[in-house]
Amino acid sequence: MRPGLLPRLTLCVLLLYLTSVPAAADVLRVATTTSTVASGLLDHLLPEFTGETGIEVHVIAVGTGKALRMGADGDVDAVLVHAPEAEREFVADGLGVDRRSVMYNEFLIVGPETDPAGISGETNAAQALTGIMETGSSFVSRGDDSGTHKKELSLWRSAGVEPRGKWYMEAGQGMGRVLQMAGELDAYTLVDEGTWIKQGGKTRLVELSRGDERLFNPYGIITVNPERHPHVAYENARALADWLTGIDGQSLIGRYRLGDKQLFTPSATSVAGTAR
């Protein structure tokens, strides 16, 4: 073999191998509340985002509390959640940066059609919950530190009630499973509007109480702080935040409907005006 031929052959083989291996996809890990998945919203949004940017989004659907813990540990690149107080604390602690408002809907109290607590049409959420407690009517709680669970606990506090007893059941489950359980037990529960529109018709439950301003349900996206976790895909996370709060993402959120029902209202201030 001529001198120098082997190194050149080795280089050629290496180049051939490298050009034949497909490039790794641009990947973004997002921890999000179960409602954005159970409502079908992310299935509506993310293929469009990936098509425009080439960034593949891996979604981990958990309760808001767990999503924020995953962000704090650097296990994801961004969080899309709905617990404003916990979100502000997450940013204040230096765990995340650049929280942006994405959309909102509201929470509802739903229950059996027989309505043993007599709360149908009640617009004061605290009084509705008080009625459930006073009549000993069954209530199924998420019990999972999710955004919905955090909201529920704040409503009990506003009613001056510490829920406990056989009538109050903590499921430790996602919203879809809790709706199913409440339907099977003829119980009440608190549910986000998006999941209710998507899945409520599969249960025996009916909408009973809504309209209290305390039931307002805003969603925000936060990128994990790259100074805390240098390995996170910060630029990809920023790209998703830009897209969700930009014209394309906000338009798609506003157009997402089931039948004639809009599940979420876009709220990025630069696009949709200041949300309440």
Do 69 and 93 sit in the same domain of this protein?
Answer: yes
Higher per-residue pLDDT: 24 or 156: 156
Which residue, of 215, 246, 263, is where some domain finishes? 215
141-192 per-position pLDDT tens digit: 999 989 999 999 999 999 999 999 999 999 999 899 999 999 999 999 999 9
Do 144 and 175 sit in the same domain of this protein?
Answer: yes
pLDDT, position 204 = 94
Do 242 and 144 sit in the same domain of this protein?
Answer: no
Which residue, of 198, 215, 232, is where some domain finishes? 215
Do 38 and 81 sit in the same domain of this protein?
Answer: yes
Domain count across the chain: 2
Identify whether the C-beta of residue 158 lies closer than 8 Å to the C-beta of residue 215: no
Please give the mean pLDDT across all residues of the chain.
Answer: 90
Looking up tokens 């909201």 gives: 151
Higher per-residue pLDDT: 23 or 16: 16
Q: What is the CATH number of the domain that holds 32?
A: 3.40.190.10
Identify whether the C-beta of residue 217 lies closer than 8 Å to the C-beta of residue 105: yes
Do 204 and 80 sit in the same domain of this protein?
Answer: no
107-126 per-position pLDDT tens digit: 999 999 999 999 999 999 99
Identify whether the C-beta of residue 26 lies closer than 8 Å to the C-beta of residue 56: yes
Do 31 and 77 sit in the same domain of this protein?
Answer: yes
* φ, ψ for residue 270, nearest 5 deg: -75, -15
In a domain, 101, yes or no: yes
> How far, in Å, CA of 193 to CA of 125, rounded?
15
Greatest distance between any 2 Cα atoms in the chain: 94
Which residue, of 174, 194, 215, is where some domain finishes? 215
The band of 237, judged by pLDDT with boundaries at 50, 70 and 90, is: very high
Looking up tokens 């489950």 gives: 173
In a domain, 20, yes or no: no
**Helix pair angle (84-92, 147-158), 10° resolution:** 110
The band of 213, judged by pLDDT with boundaries at 50, 70 and 90, is: very high
pLDDT, position 272 = 42
34-53 per-position pLDDT tens digit: 999 989 999 999 999 999 99
Provide the residue range defining the domain that includes 137. Answer: 106-215
